[in-house]
Amino acid sequence: MNRPPAQLVLSDGTTFEGYAAGHLPDEGFTSGEFVFNTALSGYQEVITDPSYAGQIISFTYPHIGNYGVTPLDDEAARPFCAGVVARELSDVPSNWRSVGSLDGFLREHRVAALVGVDTRRLTRHLRAHGALPGAFGHGDSELIVREAKRAKGTDGVDFVTSVTTKEAYVRGDGDLHVVALDYGIKETMVRELAQRFRVTVVPATTSAGDVHGLRPDGVFLSNGPGDPAALGAQVAVIDELLGTVPIFGICLGHQLLANALGGTTFKLPFGHHGSNHPVQDLVTGKIEITAQNHNYAVNPDSMTRALVSHVNLNDGVIEGIHAADERCFSVQYHPEAGPGPHDARYLFERFDTLLRTNVLDVR
């Protein structure tokens, strides 16, 4: 396939050459914060994860698009990421589930891509200098450089408003009712909950009073994009809910729960994005291989109302907390996977047990 030459420029001036693929924006460029993902497969689930809103995903695995795409792997109705970077994008997908190519999928959803890039060099640069804003595109070099300098990161930005559901909807028919606050919830997450409960997914702007009005047996706090420090209204709602109903949070939901419990968050240098992060359960001592996608983490010095339950064995980052008296717990990683290992799916059973016994058992 003939593709036009394109250029990637980071905000620090570092430049990469490649070819434009996917959607070709009329402006000639796309901009956002560059992060890298180390998953070996599951590119469609990664691209459609709403947690990537405002970010450009660089895949470290060199061959992307090999097995095409299928609606069965979508984690949202459309991608919210700002763009995709890959070493090689397959033009000939081959898989019995495939209904089309990744390049066609990106064009359909107006997601710009850059291929033929030395993603190994890009990854090493982001590891050394942290996640950086920038721009790429098929426009002239001066345009790309100018837009790279203008590009912004995710600090202080509320992306949740752009990805949350506009209307509440219900899934599952279990005997217990869970209200899921949608900060950018993944389809696999909804599916895992709906296998166990009747789930009402509500917009992120839903008040504590409206949540209680739905008479839930428990509340679920979903994953989502951006800086938790920009979501004071959501933290205030969780603060009102604490102690009144059992709560389970994942990823951004974990960070917001920690904030409601008096904690603070900080931005990691280049985040955790991949499906092979080792996490230790401090209660049982067991180690899980986990899927992760987050740029922010909970400050360990700020946790006074909750206990740390899990830590990342790569860098010591807090990966889970719990507060038995307030019947709440959360994890930073993704037990639903999609993509990734299923080591941690027992946490959905832990939530089920909490709702049925009203006792948080973390053993």
Q: Which CATH number does the domain housing residue 23 bear?
A: 3.50.30.20
pLDDT at 166: 97
pLDDT at 70: 97
- Which residue in this structure is represented by tokens 């003939």? 2
Closest CA to 46 of 1, 102, 3: 102
Please give the C-alpha separations between residue 358 and each of 88, 196, 225, 249, 352, in angstroms, as whole numbers.
Answer: 51, 16, 30, 17, 10
What are the pLDDT digits (tens) for 245-296? 999 999 999 999 999 999 999 999 999 999 999 999 999 999 999 999 999 9
SS3 content of the chain, % helix, strand, coil (to 5): 25, 35, 40
Does the annotation count 177 as an active-site position?
A: no
Question: Do residue 19 and residue 70 come from a single domain?
Answer: yes
Question: Do residue 226 and residue 313 come from a single domain?
Answer: yes
Question: Do residue 132 and residue 190 come from a single domain?
Answer: no
pLDDT at 363: 81
Strand 169-171 relative to strand 55-59, pairing: unpaired
Question: Do residue 114 and residue 132 come from a single domain?
Answer: yes
Dihedral, CA atoms, 312, 315, 317, 320, nearest 10 degrees?
0
d(CA 228, CA 16): 31
What are the pLDDT digits (tens) for 162-199? 999 999 999 999 999 999 999 999 999 999 999 999 99
Is residue 216 included in any domain, yes or no? yes
What are the pLDDT digits (tens) for 54-103? 999 999 999 999 999 999 999 999 999 999 999 999 989 999 999 999 99
* Res. 244: pLDDT tops 80: yes
Question: Do residue 142 and residue 173 come from a single domain?
Answer: no
Phi and psi of 62, rounded to 5°? Answer: -75, -25
Phi and psi of 298, rounded to 5°? Answer: -85, 135
- What is residue 108's three-state secondary structure? helix
Given the residues 45, 192, 319, 336, select the one marked as catalytic. Answer: 336
Q: Of all residues in the chain, what percent carry a pLDDT higher than 70?
A: 100
Dihedral, CA atoms, 318, 246, 229, 32, nearest 10 degrees?
80
String of DSSP letters for 274-308:
EEEEEEEETTT--EEEEEEEEEEEE-GGG-SSSEE
Is residue 96 included in any domain, yes or no? yes
Domain that holds residue 253: 160-357
pLDDT at 51: 97
* Res. 356: pLDDT tops 90: yes
Name the DSSP class of 96.
T
Given the residues 81, 147, 251, 322, select the one marked as catalytic. Answer: 251
* Res. 2: pLDDT tops 90: no
**Mean pLDDT, rounded, for 101-129:** 97
Question: Do residue 117 and residue 246 come from a single domain?
Answer: no
Buried b (16+ CB within 10 A) or exposed e, 2-21: ebeebbbbbbeebebebbbb
**Predicted confidence band of residue 1 (pLDDT cuts 50, 70, 90):** confident
Is residue 75 included in any domain, yes or no? yes
Asked whether 318 and 298 are in contact (CB, 8 A), the reply is yes
d(CA 351, CA 348): 5
Rounded to whole angstroms, the maximal C-alpha distance in the chain is 63
pLDDT at 186: 98
Dihedral, CA atoms, 136, 79, 238, 273, nearest 10 degrees?
-60
Buried b (16+ CB within 10 A) or exposed e, 49-74: bbbbbbbbbbbbbeebbbbbbeeebb
Is residue 348 included in any domain, yes or no? yes
Question: Do residue 211 and residue 75 come from a single domain?
Answer: no
Question: Do residue 186 and residue 87 come from a single domain?
Answer: no
d(CA 356, CA 362): 15
Is residue 293 included in any domain, yes or no? yes
Is residue 362 included in any domain, yes or no? no
**Mean pLDDT, rounded, for 108-136:** 97
Does the annotation count 81 as an active-site position?
A: no
Cis peptide before 339 (omega within 30 of 0): yes
Is residue 194 included in any domain, yes or no? yes
Question: Do residue 214 and residue 349 come from a single domain?
Answer: yes
Does the annotation count 63 as an active-site position?
A: no
- Considering only CA atoms, give the Rg of the chain: 20
**Predicted confidence band of residue 119 (pLDDT cuts 50, 70, 90):** very high
Is residue 155 included in any domain, yes or no? no
* Res. 362: pLDDT tops 90: no
Number of domains within the chain: 2
Question: Do residue 140 and residue 9 come from a single domain?
Answer: yes
Domain containing residue 266: CATH number: 3.40.50.880
